[in-house]
Amino acid sequence: MKQYYVYIMTNRSRTLYTGVTNNLERRVYEHKHKVNPGFTSKYNIDQLVYYEETNSIHVAIAREKEIKSWLRRRKIELIESKNPHWHDLSADWRLDGSIFYQDR
């Protein structure tokens, strides 16, 4: 069964970005390597600080919209409920170009 992820990424200044994907490793790679121009490239959003998983794209999109509608304080509370020290959850992942082409 296919998996979908809602995730929050940040930078040194703790600017927050919330997204949804069906391949979290590939998407984190894209953010870290600035593959796509836009908000995350401009603000150097490169640290994964939160994610949740579901097997429904509809649930994932609804959850992404819900989180995006929250005030910043509530997003921080969500992150800190699972990751109180804001560690980059992808720091130990072996992110290389090969994942970029999987499940595209």
User: Do the Cβ atoms of 100 and 29 come closer than 8 Å?
Assistant: yes
Mean pLDDT of 62-90: 97
Q: How far apart are CA 69 and CA 100, in angstroms?
A: 29
What integer is the mean pLDDT of 50-71? 98
Is the model's pTM score more than 0.85?
yes
Position with higher pLDDT, 36 vs 17: 17
User: ∠85-19-51 over CA atoms, to 5°?
Assistant: 40
Residue 95 in this model has a pLDDT that exceeds 90:
no
pLDDT band at 74 (very low <50, low <70, confident <90, very high): very high
What is the residue extent of each domain of the chain? 4-92
The phi-psi region of residue 11 (left if phi > 0; otherwise alpha if psi is between -120 and 50; otherwise beta) is beta
Q: Could you tell me which CATH class the domain 4-92 is placed in?
A: alpha beta
- The pLDDT, as a whole number, for residue 47 is 96
